[in-house]
Every structure is written in structure tokens, then in C-alpha cells.
Amino acid sequence: MGREMMFGEAIAVAITEEMQRDSSVVFYGQNMAMTDRDPYVRKFGKDRVRITPISETAEMGIAVGAAMTGLRPIVELYMSEFMLVAFDEVINEAPRMRYMSGGQVKVPLVFKAGFGFAAGWAAQHSNSILNTMMGIPGLKLVVPSTSADAKGMMKSAIRDDNPVVYLHHYMLTLDKSEVPDGDYLVPLGVADVKRAGTDVTIVATAWMVKKSLAAAEMLAKEGISAEVVDPRTLAPLDVDTIVQSVRKTGRLVLVDQAPRQSSAAAVIAGEVAEHGFRYLKAPVKMVTAMDTSVPYSAPMESYVLPSEERIVSAVKSVLAAQAAAV
């Protein structure tokens, strides 16, 4: 059993449940918990729920030190780009402390941020910087696409003993879907087949899952059966599930909101070029943002971002392509 929940709500429920469960979980960030009427403050008090100044280095650095000494901080960072002013904490502090200490400390924390806000926020606020946080030994990267995953993976992220970056896509905030009741956990590091199919594998993350599912629907009407795989966790990446899907379909389209060479898609394509090569009947095809920043104006913005139409035509092109080696 479950109930319909908005994506954003599912995240809030997960945080609330985990804070109830474990008193070492603290939650802070900018522009939250401003008054005593804040629901988290009401439930958990001002010690565990706090507001911060615009000080990402301190916010994230304090989380690292707190995690090393026994708290499990969740830091609300709002937009993934704001992490960049203190990116050292994300990729060069939190994931290194355990290793450098020879296993003496652990750093259980969650850096939570939205991303990919394709709604006129222009070049500095609309990015998809997922690739920069992949493949960092010691760092997990979670990117849900449904309310159930949003809840289940936030709970897993909070319980994880490693630093986890949890990115939620702004365009999904109000999307409603069913979330199982109770203590629902989704394991980190396990991809999910969001739609089964036989002719082509589409790998996509977050908002791109939604677009890919819509594209798959359009393709189904033309008799093309697309399988949509959502890695859900980009680090560690479940290469195996992706390769198994390619084994079945023989064809791979990757959809990503970032420009091509800064996309998670490129990294996944690289893995498949090594581990799934023998199953491929056609070149992989990436559907990504164009090699521009995201412009402000709507016609230009939608021009540079991946569309359902571009996904559909990419699928058709890999289906048309010749089988491999000359």
C-alpha cells in the first residue's frame, strides 16, 4: 500500500522520518527554519534544525567536522551550483577523510540540492553538474526521478555512513506519484528499469527519465519497444543493470541535460563501450544539451535542452544504423 505524494513532499517525509528515528540527524541550511513555526523546528527543536548565512564553505565544512564526530548532518544547499563556491568540501574533503585516516573516521552526511531548473534561470542556475561528482572514491551521488525513489533514497542516504550528494530536479518538484507506506528504503547503487522494452535501451536520469518515458510512449505507438533505465545512483554506478539491458536490446541511447562532454551520459557510454561492446548492434547515441550555456529566453532555452522529439529521433537513428564492426 502507499499513497500519492509530490516529489518534494516525499523528500520532506523521508527527512522527517529519519530525524524521528535517529537523534544524531541534524538539518540546516539557508532560508529554512526561520521561525519557531517552521515544521521541522516544531518537531525537532532549534538545536537540530538551523538556519545559516550564505556561507557554503562553512555550511559544508561544518557538516564534515560534525559527521566526523558523531552527527549525521543534512545540509540544504538549494541549488547544486552553490556547492561550487566550496566544491573542495564536496570532492576533496568529505570523501577523503576516512581514507586518509586509514579508516579511523567516517563522514556520514547528506548534501542536498536542487538542479537543472530550466525555467529562465539562465546560465549560472540551470546547470547539470552531475558528472563532476561521479567516480569520486568515497562519495555517493543520488539523483531520484520518482516520489518513491525520492523518499526511499533520501532515507538510505541519511543512514549511509558515507558522504552522499542528493540532487533533486526542480522540474519534478510538483510531480505526483505513489510512495509505499512505512519505512520504505531504496538501496543506493542499484539502477531501476522504469519501463521494460526490447528494441532499444534508453538511459536517463531525473527529469530526463520523464522525458524518456514520454518518448518511449510515442515510440510504442510506432511499434518500437524502448526500455528506460534510470541509474538513480550515479555513484556508485550500477553498470551491470545497464549492460544487461543493452545485452537484451543491442542498442543504447543516453539522455542527459548537460552538454555532451560534461554529461553523466558520456561516462556511462564509456562504460558500455568497454563492458557492453559485444552486445551493441549500433553506435550508442547521446541526446544531451547543446554545447552552450543555458540561455534566458524560452525559445533559446528549449532549443538547447534535450526534447522528446530529439530522443525519439535518436532512437530511430540507432535502430536504422548498421550493425557494428566493418
Partner 1 sequence: MQSKEALGKERLIWMFTQMSRIREFEERVKRTFVEHPGVIRGHAHLGDGAEASIVGSLTARQENDLVMPSYRCHGYPIVLGTDARRLMAEIYTRKDGICKGFGGSMHLADPAHHFVGTSGIIGQGIAHAAGAALTAQVKKTGQVVFSFFGDGSSKQGAFHETLNLAAVWKLPVVFVLENNFYQAYTHIRLEDANFMAGDPLSQKAKAYSIPGVTVDGTDPLAVYEAVGQAAERARAGQGPSLIESRFYRFTPHGNAITVPPVPTQFQEHEAIEVYGNKAEFEAARANDPIPKFRKALIARGAISAADADRIEAAARAEMDEVVKFALASPLPAPEDAVNYVWA
Residues of this chain that interact with its own copies (CB under 8 A) are 57, 81, 84-88, 91-93, 95-96, 99-100, 122-124, 127, 129, 131-132, 134-138, 235, 237, 250, 258-263, 265-275, 277-286, 291-293, 295-296, 322-326
CA torsion through residues 292, 293, 297, 302, sign: positive
Angle between helices 7-21 and 39-48 (to 10 degrees): 40
CA torsion through residues 219, 242, 283, 287, sign: positive
Q: How far is the CB of 216 from partner 1 (least distance, A)?
A: 23
Q: Which is nearer to ligand TPP, 14 or 60 (CB)?
A: 60
Q: How far is the CB of 138 from partner 1 (least distance, A)?
A: 5
Q: Which is nearer to partner 1, 67 or 312 (CB)?
A: 67
Q: Which is nearer to partner 1, 45 or 270 (CB)?
A: 45
Among 18, 59, 125, 168, which one carries the catalytic annotation? 125
**Sheet of strand 163-169, all strands in order from the earlier edge strand to the far edge:** 49-52, 25-30, 72-79, 109-115, 163-169, 140-142, 233-235
Q: Could you tell which of its own copies, ligand TPP, partner 1, none binds residue 29, using a CB distance below 5 to 8 A set by kind?
A: none
Q: Could you tell which of its own copies, ligand TPP, partner 1, none binds residue 195, using a CB distance below 5 to 8 A set by kind?
A: none
Place of cell 551521488: 141
> Cis (ω within 30 of 0) for the bond into 236?
yes
Q: How far is CA 275 from the centre of its chain?
A: 23
Percentage helix, strand, coil, to 5, in the chain? 45, 25, 35
> Is 56 designated active site?
yes
Q: Which is nearer to its own copies, 26 or 208 (CB)?
A: 208
Q: Say whether residue 324 binds ligand TPP (CB under 6 A).
A: no
Candidate residues 85, 122, 123, 273; the one interacting with ligand TPP per rule CB under 6 A: 85
Q: What is the DSSP string of 93-129?
A: ITTTHHHHTTSS----EEEEEEE--TTT--TTTS---
What is the footprint of ligand TPP within residues 44-83 (CB under 6 A)?
A: 54, 56, 82
Place of cell 538545536: 47
Q: Could you tell which of partner 1, ligand TPP, its own copies, none binds residue 121, using a CB distance below 5 to 8 A set by kind?
A: partner 1
Q: Which is nearer to ligand TPP, 83 or 188 (CB)?
A: 83
DSSP 81: G
The span from the CA of 18 to the CA of 90, in Å, is 22
Q: How far is the CB of 76 from ligand TPP (least distance, A)?
A: 11
The residue ranges that bind ligand TPP (CB under 6 A) are: 30, 54, 56, 82, 85
Q: Residues with catalytic annotation?
A: 56, 125
